[in-house]
Amino acid sequence: MTTDDRIRELARDYNAPPRALDAARREEIWNRIQRERGASSPRTAHRIRPRHRNRLQTIAAVAAVLLIGILIGRTTVDRPDERQATTSDHATANVDRVTTTNDHPVTPGNGLGTPGERLSADDTPSPDATHRLATRDYLLRTETLLTEFRLAAASPTPESALPGTGPWASSLLLETRLLMDSAIGENPDLQRLLRDLELILAEIVQLADAADERERQEIRRSLEERGVLLRLRRAVPAKAGTRGA
């Protein structure tokens, strides 16, 4: 017997399952597959074990505080412009009364308002309005990341085109999970979009360590198959990020 034969013999039961899957386990896995395929739900969500969830919740809470702080800061800084807008334009409105521009009519239903949506100078931002603005801001940043990722993945030298993607995706992943647990995530369309985003962002975060070309292409394909970018753009009007548009 050669040394390699001996190694094979000693390793024969390496990580071998103690028992084969019984009928009940097979059925259970089959049901999970059907649920996941039927709902097109994220592959990772059910897998987050409680101890991981606790850590995520702590991080998410910190992120939430930061996010709300930034948003309140933004709305405060924007007020002079808003006052100007109220005098010259009929577009001033409470955040719940959205305004429109000619080329971007209101598309009710996603709860995120429209390109012209602004906070009135005299309004104190309600938690709902803050939440919606945060969601819109998040969606815009996610769209930017995914668009850059898709372009970079298609480039001849994707490795050099993707530095820093991991931390960026990681931060967005955190916000995704935060939004999924929030009231705004109760919108079924948005919830579905957030689930897909969670999956794709998680894959991009993993990819940051692996830099595997096949995986990169799989993510790109997953993006296209799920029509994620298209749905993202539908969720956020094209000029949502343009201040005072």
Partner 1 sequence: MTLDERHLIESARRGEPAAERALYEQHVGRVYRMAHRMTGDAALAEDVTQDTFVRAFGRLDEFEFRSQFSTWLHAITTNVALNVLRTHRRTRDHEQPTEELGRLPVATHDGDRALRIALHRAIDTLNDDMRATFVLHDLEGYTHTEVAEMLGVEEGTSKARLSRARAKLRAVLADEDTRASRAGHAGRAGDER
Give the residues lining the site for partner 1 (CB under 8 A). Answer: 3-4, 6-8, 10-18, 20-21, 25-26, 29-30, 32-33, 36-37, 43, 47, 51-52, 202-203, 206, 209-210, 213-215, 225
Q: What is the residue-wise DSSP string for 104-121?
A: B---TTSSS--TT----T
C-beta closer to partner 1: residue 45 or 71? 45
Give long-range contacts, CB 8 A cutoff, 24+ apart: 68-74.
Answer: 68/130, 68/134, 71/125, 71/130, 71/133, 71/134, 71/137, 72/125, 72/130, 74/133
The answer to whether the beta carbons of residues 55 and 85 sit under 8 Å apart is: no
Nearer to partner 1, 6 or 97 (CB): 6
Side-chain-side CA neighbours of residue 210 (13 Å): 13
Going by C-alpha positions, the residue among 116, 69, 77 that lies closest to residue 94 is: 116
Q: Residue 84: which H helix or E strand, with range?
A: helix 79-88
Minimal distance in Å, beta carbon 153 to partner 1? 16
In whole angstroms, the minimum distance from the beta carbon of 215 to partner 1 comes to 7
CB of 11 to partner 1, least distance (A): 6
CB of 205 to partner 1, least distance (A): 8
Q: Which is nearer to partner 1, 32 or 97 (CB)?
A: 32
CA–chain centroid gap for 12, Å, is: 43
Of residues 78 and 215, the one with the C-beta less far from partner 1 = 215
CA–CA separation, 139 vs 135, rounded Å? 6
Identify which of residues 44 and 147 has a Cβ nearer to partner 1 in the complex: 44
Check: CB of residue 92 under 8 Å from CB of residue 86: yes
CB of 41 to partner 1, least distance (A): 10
As beta bridge partners, residue 101 has: 104
Nearest distance from residue 183's CB to partner 1, in Å?
29
Residue 13 vs 77, nearer CB to partner 1? 13
